[in-house]
């Protein structure tokens, strides 16, 4: 990894973390209750976008794959928040919501990643990019 790629990774990671905080707050202002809808939206969206990036083809994008994938989307998505939210829901006696958060995030994020990969492969085929 070059110095410029590393610098791009660091900057993109910060931008991704900032975007996560903004989107989470925006969603949560529109929802009520204890369920962490904002983080669910963040992780499903990030999974789709990383799938799209992967489907387009990491080889085609070179260093941008690191900057956008590990940096921007790595800073954007957060499994640790899902873990903490799940434990807090369980500790507060909200076992059903805890399980919904854990299983829902996993199922929706994996599905979104798969759809993103398919979309990226299609986009790569149409544009001539990709593997």
Annotated binding-site positions for Na(+): 74, 77
Contact 86, 101 (CB under 8 A): yes
**How many residues belong to the chain?**
131
48-78 as b/e: b if 16+ CB within 10 A? bbbbbbbbbbbeebeebbbbbbbbbbbbbbb
**Residues flagged as binding site:** 74, 77
Q: Which are the contacts of 55, defined by CB distance < 8 A and separation ≥ 6?
A: 116, 117, 118, 119, 120, 121, 122, 123, 124, 130
Q: Taking the alpha carbons of 54, 56, 59, 61 in that order, is the dihedral positive or negative?
A: negative
């Amino acid at each position: 990894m070059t110095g410029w790629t590393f610098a791009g990774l660091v900057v993109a990671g910060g931008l991704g973390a900032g975007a996560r905080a903004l989107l989470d707050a925006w969603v949560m202002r529109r929802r009520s209750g204890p369920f962490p809808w904002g983080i669910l939206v963040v992780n499903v969206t990030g999974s789709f976008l990383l799938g799209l990036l992967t489907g387009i083809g990491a080889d085609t994008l070179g260093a941008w794959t690191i900057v956008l994938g590990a940096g921007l989307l790595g800073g954007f998505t957060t499994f640790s928040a899902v873990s903490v939210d799940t434990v807090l829901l369980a500790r507060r006696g909200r076992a059903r919501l805890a399980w919904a958060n854990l299983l829902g995030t996993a199922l929706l994020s994996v599905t979104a990643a798969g759809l993103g990969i398919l979309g990226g492969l299609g986009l790569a085929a149409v544009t001539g990019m990709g593997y």
